[in-house]
C-alpha cells in the first residue's frame, strides 16, 4: 500500500504491478503483487480505473496510508535554513501573504493563511472614508500589515476632513491595541473624547461592536492559484470554479478549518470528511501559528494525491518559524 500511494503521488497515473514489484524492498513477482493488489481491492483500498489498468488508491486507501503507514520526518538543517531565509524575504511586505506564497511555491499546491479574527489582531492604523451620504468605510491596518475593511452606517455629507481628524485622534491611541482593548480605553476616556467630538465615541464603539462580535470570521488569504492549477486533478474547470466560489464565500471554509484543526501540531483532513462539497477529492494540511491574540492558521489545500512526506514537514516547519516571527515583532 505504501508503494502504491508513493508511486501514484509521483506519477498521477495508475500504478502497474511491474512497477510495484520493482519498487518493493523485498523480492516479489508480479503475480504475487497482483494477488496482493486484488486483496487490497477487496478491502476497498485500491481500485482499477479499467480492467487492464494499474491500481489507484481510493480515499480509504489514502486514509490508511495517512493514519497507519505515513511516518513524517522533519526537514533537514539545510532546508530549514533555506525555508527560514525565504520566509524572511517573502514576509517583508506582509507575513500572511508571504507564508501563502512560500507554501504554494514549495509544495506546488495552494498555500493559504487563515488571518486572525479581527478582534484578536493588534492594530497599527485606522482611517475613515466617506463612501456615500449614508455610509463610512473604516480601514484598519494590523501590525502584521494586514488590512481589514468594514462599512458602517453614518449619515453625513462633505465631512471627509472631519473624518480624517477623527482617525488622527484614534491613531494616537490605537498602536498595538486590539479592538476590545481599544474599546475599553475609549470608554475610560469617554468624557475627554466627547469634548473633542460627540460623534467619535459613537462611531468607534459602533464599529468596535460590529468588528469584535461573534459574527466576525477570519479570512482565508491565498497568494496564488497557479501552482494548484498545474495539478492534473484541477484541469477540470468546474472543480476549480467550485473551489474558487467556496474561497470567495470564505465563511464555510473558515468554519471547516476551525472545526478540524487541532490545538497544536499538523492536522491532515480529507475534504470528503468535512461536509464541504468544494473540498471533495482534496485534502487540507494545516497547523496553527502565533500565540494568544495573534494566533492564526496556515496550511496547504491540494488533491488527495498529495506528497504527504514533503508537505507535512514543511507545514510544520513554517508553523514554527512563523510563530517565532510573530513573537519577535
pLDDT, one tens digit per residue, over 84-96 is 999 988 776 678 8
Domains, in order of start, for the chain: 2-69 (1.10.10.10), 77-116+217-328 (3.30.450.40), 119-211 (3.30.390)
How buried is 30 (Cβ within 10 angstroms: 0-12 exposed, 13-18 middle, 19+ buried)? middle
CB 61 within 8 A of CB 5: yes
Asked if 298 and 113 count as a contact pair (C-beta separation under 8 A), the reply is yes
| Helix residue ranges, H only, 43-159 | 59-64, 77-90, 95-107
Regarding predicted confidence, which is higher, 235 or 157? 235
Q: Where are the alpha helices (DSSP H) in 150-268?
A: 160-174, 179-188, 190-196, 198-211, 226-229, 237-249, 251-260
Closest CA to 237 of 188, 245, 60: 245
Binned at pLDDT 50, 70 and 90, residue 292 comes out as low
**The pTM is what?**
0.72
pLDDT tens per residue, range 111-122:
999 876 666 677
Residue holding cell 491540494?
Answer: 302
pLDDT score at 181: 76
Amino acid at each position: 500500500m505504501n508503494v502504491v500511494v508513493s508511486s501514484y503521488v509521483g506519477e498521477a497515473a495508475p500504478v502497474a504491478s511491474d512497477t510495484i514489484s520493482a519498487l518493493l524492498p523485498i523480492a516479489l513477482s508480479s503475480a504475487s503483487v497482483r494477488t496482493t493488489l486484488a486483496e487490497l481491492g477487496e478491502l476497498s483500498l485500491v481500485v482499477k480505473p479499467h480492467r487492464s489498468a494499474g491500481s489507484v488508491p481510493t480515499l480509504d486507501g489514502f486514509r490508511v496510508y495517512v493514519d497507519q503507514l505515513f511516518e513524517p520526518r522533519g526537514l533537514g538543517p539545510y532546508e530549514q535554513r533555506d525555508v527560514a531565509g525565504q520566509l524572511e524575504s517573502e514576509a517583508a511586505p506582509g507575513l500572511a501573504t508571504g507564508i501563502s506564497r512560500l507554501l504554494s511555491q514549495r509544495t506546488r499546491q495552494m498555500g493559504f493563511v487563515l488571518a486572525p479574527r479581527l478582534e484578536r489582531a493588534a492594530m497599527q492604523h485606522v482611517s475613515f472614508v466617506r463612501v456615500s451620504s449614508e455610509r463610512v468605510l473604516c480601514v484598519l491596518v494590523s501590525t502584521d500589515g494586514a488590512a481589514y475593511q468594514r462599512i458602517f452606517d453614518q449619515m453625513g455629507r462633505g465631512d471627509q476632513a472631519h473624518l480624517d481628524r477623527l482617525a488622527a485622534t484614534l491613531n494616537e491611541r490605537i498602536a498595538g491595541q486590539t479592538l476590545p482593548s481599544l474599546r475599553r480605553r475609549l470608554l475610560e476616556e469617554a468624557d475627554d473624547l466627547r469634548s473633542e467630538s460627540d460623534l467619535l465615541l459613537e462611531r468607534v464603539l459602533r464599529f468596535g461592536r460590529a468588528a469584535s462580535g461573534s459574527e466576525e470570521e477570519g479570512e482565508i488569504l491565498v497568494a496564488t492559484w497557479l501552482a494548484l492549477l498545474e495539478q492534473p486533478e484541477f484541469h477540470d474547470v468546474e472543480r476549480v470554479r467550485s473551489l474558487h466560489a467556496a474561497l470567495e464565500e470564505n465563511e464555510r471554509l473558515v468554519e471547516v478549518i476551525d472545526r478540524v484543526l487541532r490545538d497544536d501540531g499538523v492536522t491532515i483532513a480529507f475534504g470528503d470528511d468535512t461536509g464541504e462539497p468544494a473540498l471533495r477529492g482534496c485534502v487540507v494540511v494545516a497547523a496553527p501559528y502565533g500565540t494568544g491574540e495573534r494566533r492564526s492558521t496556515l496550511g496547504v489545500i491540494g488533491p488527495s494525491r498529495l506528497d504527504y512526506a514533503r508537505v507535512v514537514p514543511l507545514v510544520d516547519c513554517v508553523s514554527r518559524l512563523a510563530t517565532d516571527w510573530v513573537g519577535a515583532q
